[in-house]
């Protein structure tokens, strides 16, 4: 089965330091794939290349086995798209927009369309310009899902949605991937992606920083271990020499460590020092992501799937 999305050394340049550079990425089918990065990192640029709105400067982008630019018509028949800065025709009502775009597609499942309208409580009878951002976003979601596409490309999909609708959206994604379909969604919000995605790619300043599963990232995320010892320790040298271990604070009986990777070596080093208590806090993905966002790309950081 072809990958849902494949980027092969993709570059889209708009001048120096603008665009995306040398992205190589394979998104397997039947999953929610999160595309994370800070504002201006190149998420929307990549998505527009996938949707055939931008022509690659070099390299290539394919989806469902079809070239995103030269075979765009056949591809877009099988893809649902929600733009990041969704702008619908302001003077038309939601119903009129849905009807006109349904006619233009000629492959819409009208029963599914109605189910989606009901699920998201989409408001259809008011001009779009009078709707809130969230209510416009609901129309955008109906438009993206209404022809039961094999691949969904969603740019910041929960933007403006209230928590209840975000839950509904998460359920819809679960149902979508359960049917073997693929969702490629971008976000700058880790919480959102962590909740729905199985794998993520992180992009920063137009370059791919890492690609991993959520579980893999969690394993790599730093965790905090607080130890209390029977006797005061002179220093943290027993821990600071260990790979991936950093002594965050130390005062008498108490030692706080930040550990990246397995905690085994740190615990083994603690045993001879007679620990009396240990508190481990869960992996802090936020911390990891902030690190990815903030630090320049380092060679070897990229973990292709």
Residue 52 Cα distances to 7, 45, 280, angstroms: 13, 11, 47
Least distance (Å) from other proteins to the CB of residue 91?
Answer: 7
Calculate the dihedral angle through the C-alpha atoms of 116, 121, 124, 127, rounding to the nearest 10 degrees: -130
Return the range that interacts with other proteins (CB under 8 A); candidates 50-58, 166-174, 249-257, 267-275.
Answer: 50-58
Least distance (Å) from other proteins to the CB of residue 277?
Answer: 57
Our CB check for other proteins shows the closer of 155 and 212 to be: 155
Our CB check for other proteins shows the closer of 86 and 173 to be: 86
If one asks whether residue 34 binds other proteins (CB under 8 A), the answer comes out as no
Asked if 23 and 59 touch (Cβ cutoff 8 Å), the reply is yes
Asked if 20 and 10 touch (Cβ cutoff 8 Å), the reply is yes
Q: One symbol per residue from 91 to 120: x for binding other proteins (CB under 8 A), - otherwise; what is it? A: xx---xx--xx-xxx-x-------------
Least distance (Å) from other proteins to the CB of residue 83?
Answer: 5
If one asks whether residue 143 binds other proteins (CB under 8 A), the answer comes out as yes
Give the position of tokens 């802090």.
284
Q: CA–CA separation, 104 vs 279, rounded Å?
A: 59
Least distance (Å) from other proteins to the CB of residue 53?
Answer: 5
Least distance (Å) from other proteins to the CB of residue 73?
Answer: 5
Residue 8 Cα distances to 69, 78, 105, angstroms: 14, 21, 29
Our CB check for other proteins shows the closer of 72 and 206 to be: 72
Q: Which residues of 111-131 are buried (b: 16+ CB within 10 A; e: fewer)?
A: eebeebbebbebbbeeebeeb
If one asks whether residue 124 binds other proteins (CB under 8 A), the answer comes out as no
Three-class DSSP category at 208? strand
Our CB check for other proteins shows the closer of 100 and 230 to be: 100
Q: CA–CA separation, 82 vs 157, rounded Å?
A: 7
Give the position of tokens 């699920």.
119
Q: Pick the closest to residue 73 from 106, 110, 40 (CA basis).
A: 106
Our CB check for other proteins shows the closer of 51 and 122 to be: 51
Least distance (Å) from other proteins to the CB of residue 111?
Answer: 21
Q: One symbol per residue from 52 to 91: x for binding other proteins (CB under 8 A), - otherwise; what is it? A: xxxx----------------xxx-xx-x-x-x-xxxxx-x
Our CB check for other proteins shows the closer of 54 and 289 to be: 54
Handedness of CA 61, 194, 288, 239 (dihedral sign): negative
Return the range that interacts with other proteins (CB under 8 A); candidates 44-52, 116-124, 229-237, 266-274.
Answer: 44-52
Q: CA–CA separation, 161 vs 157, rounded Å?
A: 8
* Residues forming the site for other proteins (CB under 8 A): 48, 51-55, 72-74, 76-77, 79, 81, 83, 85-89, 91-92, 96-97, 100-101, 103-105, 107, 143
């Amino acid at each position: 089965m072809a990958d849902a999305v494949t980027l092969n050394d993709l570059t889209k340049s708009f001048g120096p330091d603008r665009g995306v550079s040398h992205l190589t990425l394979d998104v397997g089918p039947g999953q929610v794939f999160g595309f994370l990065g800070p504002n201006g990192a190149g998420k929307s640029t990549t998505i527009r290349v996938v949707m055939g709105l931008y022509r690659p400067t070099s390299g290539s982008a394919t989806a469902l086995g079809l070239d995103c630019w030269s075979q765009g018509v056949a591809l877009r028949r099988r893809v649902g798209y929600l733009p990041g800065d969704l702008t619908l025709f302001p003077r038309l009502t939601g119903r009129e927009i849905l009807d006109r775009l349904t006619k233009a597609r000629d492959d819409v499942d009208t029963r599914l369309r109605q189910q989606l309208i009901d699920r998201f409580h989409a408001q259809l009878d008011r001009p779009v310009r009078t709707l809130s951002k969230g209510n416009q976003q609901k129309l955008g979601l109906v438009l993206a899902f209404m022809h039961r596409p094999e691949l969904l490309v969603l740019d910041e999909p929960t933007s403006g949605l209230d928590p209840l609708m975000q839950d509904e959206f998460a359920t819809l994604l679960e149902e979508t991937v359960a049917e073997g379909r693929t969702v490629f969604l971008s976000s700058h919000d880790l919480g959102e992606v962590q909740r729905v995605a199985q794998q993520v790619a992180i992009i920063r300043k137009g370059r791919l920083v890492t690609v991993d599963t959520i579980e893999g990232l969690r394993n790599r995320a730093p965790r905090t271990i607080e130890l209390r010892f029977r006797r005061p320790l002179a220093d943290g040298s027993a821990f600071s020499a260990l790979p991936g271990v950093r002594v965050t604070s130390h005062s008498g009986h108490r030692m706080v460590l930040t550990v990246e990777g397995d905690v085994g070596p740190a615990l083994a080093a603690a045993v001879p020092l007679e620990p009396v208590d240990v508190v481990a806090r869960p992996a802090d993905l936020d911390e990891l992501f902030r690190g990815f966002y903030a630090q320049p790309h380092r060679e070897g950081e990229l973990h292709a799937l």
